[in-house]
């Protein structure tokens, strides 16, 4: 029997890849009149403490940043969307895994990432962040503001891609709220 696929806005959810405090990450297909237009990563910000209204208000800036910051280490094809008041971003799918899953597997298998690989990952993340610094939006340089393992993707050939530019300030409020709620 065929599985029932869920839909979020104009995206067909293929597979849930990750669930974390930010919400859910899916491999999805963006569809239009002719069928599936492209495969994307779809980050739905439906975590329990996510400031949804604040994220939606940051979408315009995030779109401008997505159009302006060009680097192989920055998510491409960024779209900001919402469905029933729940904010999300989509971006071009690349063959990769979220850094959060990589780190979970490292911990589970108790097999550390070799130092040279860890340094390579950090170098690629730094390249993404420096690409943001090379662009000026609203009179200032673009800072990410909220690096999170669920927003960083590690490819199978050693590259890293960072997503979530333009949403850092709003997501930082999530970290502050969660730390305030901790016993």
Residues 25-84: pLDDT tens digits?
999 999 988 888 999 999 999 998 898 999 999 999 999 999 999 899 999 999 999 999
Mean pLDDT of the chain: 90
What contacts 65, CB < 8 A, 6 or more positions away? Answer: 132, 135, 137, 142, 165, 166
> Can you tell me the distance from the alpha carbon of 132 to that of 165, in angstroms, rounded to the nearest whole number?
8
Q: Residue 81 has what pLDDT?
A: 95
Residues 116-173: pLDDT tens digits?
888 999 999 999 999 999 999 888 899 999 999 999 999 988 899 999 999 998 998 7
User: Using CA of residue 149, residue 147, residue 123, residue 162, what is the dihedral sign?
Assistant: positive
Q: Residue 37 has what pLDDT?
A: 93
Kindly tell me the burial class for residue 70, based on how many C-beta atoms sit within 10 Å of its own C-beta (0-12, 13-18, 19 or more): exposed
Query: Distance of alpha carbon 25 from its chain centroid, rounded?
Result: 8
Buried b (16+ CB within 10 A) or exposed e, 147-162: ebbbbbbbeeeebbbb
Residues 105-117: pLDDT tens digits?
888 888 888 888 8
Of 66, 85, 74, 90, the C-alpha closest to 14 is 90
> Can you tell me the distance from the alpha carbon of 78 to that of 31, in angstroms, rounded to the nearest whole number?
15
Please say whether the beta carbons of 25 and 16 come within 8 A: yes
Between 1 and 147, whose confidence is greater?
Answer: 147
Q: Residue 5 has what pLDDT?
A: 79
**pLDDT, average across residues 86-103:** 95
């Amino acid at each position: 029997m065929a599985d029932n696929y869920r839909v979020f806005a104009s995206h067909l959810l293929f597979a849930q890849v990750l669930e974390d405090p930010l919400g859910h990450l899916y491999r999805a297909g963006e569809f239009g009149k002719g069928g599936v237009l492209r495969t994307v990563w779809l980050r739905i910000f439906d975590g329990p403490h996510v400031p949804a209204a604040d994220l939606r208000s940051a979408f315009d800036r995030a779109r401008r940043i997505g159009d302006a910051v060009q680097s192989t280490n920055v998510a491409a094809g960024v779209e900001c969307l919402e469905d029933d008041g729940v904010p999300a971003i989509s971006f071009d799918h690349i063959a990769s895994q979220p850094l959060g899953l990589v780190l979970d597997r490292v911990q589970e298998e108790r097999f550390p990432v070799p130092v040279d690989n860890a340094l390579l990952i950090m170098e690629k993340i730094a390249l993404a962040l420096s690409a943001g610094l090379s662009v000026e939006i609203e009179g200032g340089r673009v800072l990410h503001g909220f690096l999170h393992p669920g927003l960083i993707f590690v490819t199978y050939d050693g590259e890293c891609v960072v997503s979530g530019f333009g949403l850092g300030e709003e997501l930082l409020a999530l970290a502050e709220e969660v730390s305030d709620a901790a016993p």
